[in-house]
């Protein structure tokens, strides 16, 4: 098997993009995991496929597969890379367009400065739809390794737990991230973010993604952190989110409105995968 691929990243969250517009995607979870291995494979956080749209209101569909081969419902940094890839391929012009994600249609806008603006939809706090096996609340609590942990929960097309920390650098994300991510509280597991408020217009964030581990950036994680904290009245409607890999701009007016994310999408190299 020989596959041409494009390596891309969105502020360090890295991807392999496959053109599946003419050839159906047919990799197994094991093949994806081997390709994702950073020692003997290409190495990536997620695999993205560009396919014909199922929804006739959308131009193209994109699939999202985590490094362990599992399927993801949404990827904020990934959709920006898909949009940039389509533009370079001559399949997407400047301005606004509509793409189809595994979680439904997504609006994208290609900006003159090379960044991509994405309509990530309205944050969903309904436990049944996250899904979260707890009654609805603004703040939830659990015990991890004997420590009381409070978190917010939201879906941005995929489930997120958001924990506020005084110092995001020192927060024990590795220690409790895996435990909370795979807790029975989250039937489909979840991404776990620790967030530090700098002021009402800036936060710092680290995220452990399900099926991947800690990443340099997580677009849906940035959206989730802002949504949870803004719902608590802690942030303004325009917020800069600083992740280890770089900065994203998040704009959310509040409940009843969709949330917008803006950030870069970078090409790294082209290659061929042989297995």
The active-site residue out of 20, 58, 81, 218 is 218
218 is known as an active-site residue = yes
Which residue among 58, 75, 190, 223 is the active-site one? Answer: 75
Is 190 considered catalytic here?
no
3-state SS, the chain, equals: CEEEEEEEEECCEEEEEEECCCCCCCCCHHHHHHHHCCCCCCCCCEEEEEEECCCCCCCEEEEEEECCCCECCCCHHHHHHHHHHHHHCCCCCCEEEEEEECCEEEEEEECCCCCEEEECCCCECCCCCCCCCCCCCCCEEEEECCEEEEEEEEECCCEEEEEECCCCCCCCHHHHHHHHHCCCCCCCCCEEEEEEEEECCEEEEEEEECCCEEECCCHHHHHHHHHHHHHCCCCCCEEEEEECCEEEEEEECCCCCCEEEEECCEEEEEEEEEC
Could you tell me the CA-to-CA distances from 105 to 55, 79, 207 in Å, in that order?
8, 11, 25
Catalytic machinery residues: 75, 218
């Amino acid at each position: 098997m020989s596959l041409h691929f494009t390596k891309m990243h969105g502020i360090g969250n890295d991807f392999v993009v496959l053109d599946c517009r003419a050839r159906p995607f047919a990799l197994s979870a094991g093949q994806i995991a081997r390709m994702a291995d950073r020692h003997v494979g290409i190495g990536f956080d997620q695999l993205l496929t560009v396919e014909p749209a199922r929804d006739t209101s959308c131009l193209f569909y994109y699939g999202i597969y985590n490094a362990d081969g599992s399927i993801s419902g949404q990827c904020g940094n990934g959709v920006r890379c898909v949009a940039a890839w389509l533009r370079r391929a001559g399949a997407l012009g400047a301005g606004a367009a509509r793409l189809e994600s595994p979680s439904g249609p997504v609006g994208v806008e290609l900006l003159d400065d090379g960044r991509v603006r994405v309509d990530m939809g309205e944050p969903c706090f309904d436990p049944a739809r996250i899904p979260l096996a707890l009654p609805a609340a603004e703040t939830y609590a659990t015990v991890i390794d004997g420590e009381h942990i409070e978190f917010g929960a939201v879906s941005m097309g995929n489930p997120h737990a958001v924990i506020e920390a005084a110092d995001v650098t020192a927060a024990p994300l590795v220690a409790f991230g895996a435990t909370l991510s795979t807790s029975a509280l989250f039937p489909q597991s979840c991404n776990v973010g620790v967030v530090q408020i700098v002021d009402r217009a800036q936060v710092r964030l680290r995220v452990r993604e399900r099926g991947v581990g800690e990443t340099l950036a997580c677009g849906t994680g940035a959206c989730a952190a802002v949504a949870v904290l803004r719902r608590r009245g802690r942030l303004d409607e325009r917020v800069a989110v600083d992740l280890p890999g770089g900065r994203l701009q998040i704009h959310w007016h509040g409940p009843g409105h969709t949330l917008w994310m803006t950030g870069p999408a970078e090409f790294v190299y082209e290659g061929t995968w042989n297995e």
